[in-house]
Amino acid sequence: MKHSKLLFLTILFVIISIYLIGSITRSISNIHDNKETLIRNSNGNYWEPTGENIQTAIDDAESTGGGTVWLPAGTLVPSSTIYLKDNVRLVGKGMGITTIKAESNYGGTMIRSSSSARQLNVTVSDLTIDGNYVMGNPLYLHSVSGFIIERVHARRSLSNGFGVFGNCERGFMSDCMASELQGYSYEGFAINSAWDSTFSNLIATDIAYMGMDFHTLHNCALNNLIVKDSGMGIKFFGDPGEKGGNNVVTNVVIQSISYSGDGFGLWIKREYNSSFTNINVEAEVGIVLDGSNDINLNNFNIQADGTQSALHISNWLHDCERINIANGIVKHVGSGRTFYAKGIKDATFSNVQFVESPNYNVFSDANNVLISECSFDGGNERGLIVKNSDEFIISGSNFKDNNGAGIYILGTEGLCTNFVISDNIITYNNEGIRVDAFAHDNYIITNNILTDNTGQGVRDQGTGSNKFIGDNLL
């Protein structure tokens, strides 16, 4: 009798255990078990749609070398961080259809790679990550080789929307959006130290601080970037000492930037050997080029409305060298300048229109600069002031309807030497060309059309030697 009772209890225990295990992890045995409302993975297992079971499905896929975890439509609320694993894909039903939402009292990162080891081949796609306005990144990758982030919306966070840090490489991020991020000093896309990767079709909107921050990227392609209704636009911060540069950036739109005084649209800082093409910026400060080398800026449209410059080039830590800026329109509707450049070497400006500058345009402390086929028109003050510069040419350009001189060579902050001003059309200004009363040396002013200016066509007060002024049409 005792043996029969023991056997009965044993059989009952086994039956209950099988039932309980089956309620947690179940093998898909037929088409009726393949339910779209459950969490599933490529091992053929599925789980109830809870936040905690996302991690269970990921770990189960990793245990067999990797695979795919499919999340159902609806909202899943995990109570702790979801850790991505090597060779595992986390896939939802689509942005706005599958949502992973933070608990109201949770303050950690929602989805992230390992915090202790380099990871390989992780994918997140087709879902929304809702930070629920608690502190922590919706999505954070660190030291990942081979990442894919596609069709993901990160929203409502007090931290960065997307974080890619720690020398991630060979990645692809596409068709992603960051929005409604209210944390001060955080970005919609914070991409820090990434190599050999592509970032495409990214949108940042309603970001309290900065839309996108690309720091120390190397050999990356970035295209179709949009930032709007945010504090600041996009920053590229290279660091040659840490291997940053060789990037190609195309098709950028930046609009409705709101930070007062320093709301820049596009800031290119210490970047090198990179190109920026098809850029459209509307911001308080348009484009800032700061301490960068071997930069090509081509096909751009800038409209600034603040107190600083629309196109601002400066020598932060070191001069900007080997800069080519071509085919653009720069306009200022605030109170600043359309153009300011200081500390540039080996630079060319061609086919750029500087329109209606409220303040005078200026370049200074420059060496080996060519300005050709540009226009400086309708300025509230002088068209262009040149200070403390050597070996520059201004040729084939238009200076029209400026309230001061079309071109003003100024000596109060250093002399200008070895320059040529030729073949320009300089008309309807207060004066044509003015060289002030300092010892500027070795210059030629020739073959310019200088008609219909209110004052003198050429007003040369320079006290230096070795100069030729002639063959101008006055």
User: 471 in a domain, yes or no?
Assistant: yes
Question: How many beta carbons lie within 10 A of that of residue 428, not counting itself?
Answer: 16
Nearest in space to 113 (alpha carbons), one of 85, 89, 132, 79? 85
User: 402 in a domain, yes or no?
Assistant: yes
In sequence order, the 6+-apart residues with CB closer than 8 A to the CB of 329 are 300, 301, 302, 352, 353, 355
C-alpha 201/C-alpha 207 separation (Å) is 17
Nearest in space to 235 (alpha carbons), one of 204, 268, 205? 268
**Are 188 and 211 within 8 A, CB to CB?**
yes
Tokens (6 digits) for 230 = 């945010």
| Domain membership of residue 455 as a residue range | 360-371+381-474
User: 228 in a domain, yes or no?
Assistant: no
Spans in the chain with pLDDT lower than 50: 1-3, 5-24, 27-33
Number of domains making up the chain: 1
pLDDT, tens digit, 9 for 90 and up, residues 76-128: 999 999 999 999 999 999 999 999 999 988 878 999 998 778 999 999 999 99
Element (H, E) at 19: helix 2-24
C-alpha 183/C-alpha 160 separation (Å) is 8
User: 355 in a domain, yes or no?
Assistant: no
User: 141 in a domain, yes or no?
Assistant: no
Q: What local confidence, expressed as pLDDT, does residue 95 receive?
A: 98
User: 262 in a domain, yes or no?
Assistant: no
Q: Report how far apart, in Å, the C-alpha atoms of 245 and of each of 228, 249, 273, 322 are.
A: 25, 11, 6, 14
User: 448 in a domain, yes or no?
Assistant: yes
C-alpha 191/C-alpha 222 separation (Å) is 12
User: 458 in a domain, yes or no?
Assistant: yes
